Amino acid sequence: MATVLAVFLGATAPLTAGTRITEVTVNQARGLIQQRARDAQFVILDVRTPEEFAQGHLSGAVNVDLMAPDFEGRLGALDKAKTYLVYCRTGNRSAKAIQIMGRLGFRSVYHMFEGIVGWQKKGFPLSTSS
């Protein structure tokens, strides 16, 4: 129960030495995006398939498909010092992705655990442009 409560409160916990993950709700994620709209050190990472991404994604998101055979390589090529907001459809794939990010040594990761489904339930806008 404490773990579930911590997740809903936006708990921060280390994944591996030097990696911090913060679980955030859709509302918290939207606030982060608005705060950091012009911050080159903040990256929105969508780990769904390219087809899902094309149907609608968070504005400014970068798509790296968790199911692609080269996922770890593509992820490893990203700047580990930047801050990432990671999401998928419902939070399952993104949970796997943040574990890999921790293993690869990313420093700061926010996990939008409700996924884009939660984003849409709130009525927040999606983008279809690349």
Q: Residue 99: what are its φ and ψ, rounded to 5°?
A: -65, -40
Query: How large is the average pLDDT for residues 28-44?
Result: 96
pLDDT of 1 above 60:
no
In a domain, 7, yes or no: no
CATH number of the domain within which 75 lies: 3.40.250.10
pLDDT of 123 above 60:
yes
Is 38 or 26 the better-scoring residue by pLDDT?
A: 26
Residues 6+ apart with CB under 8 A from 127: 56, 57, 58, 59, 60, 61
In a domain, 130, yes or no: no
In a domain, 44, yes or no: yes
Contact 60, 44 (CB under 8 A): yes
Given this model, what pLDDT does residue 10 score? 46
pTM: 0.87
Please give the Cα distance from 92 to 103 (Å, whole number): 17
Given this model, what pLDDT does residue 3 score? 37
The catalytic residue among 29, 75, 88, 97 is 88
| Nearest alpha-carbon partner for 40 in 26, 59, 60 | 60
Would you call 82 a catalytic residue per the annotation?
Answer: no
Please give the Cα distance from 100 to 53 (Å, whole number): 21
In a domain, 5, yes or no: no
User: For the chain, how many structural domains are there in total?
Assistant: 1
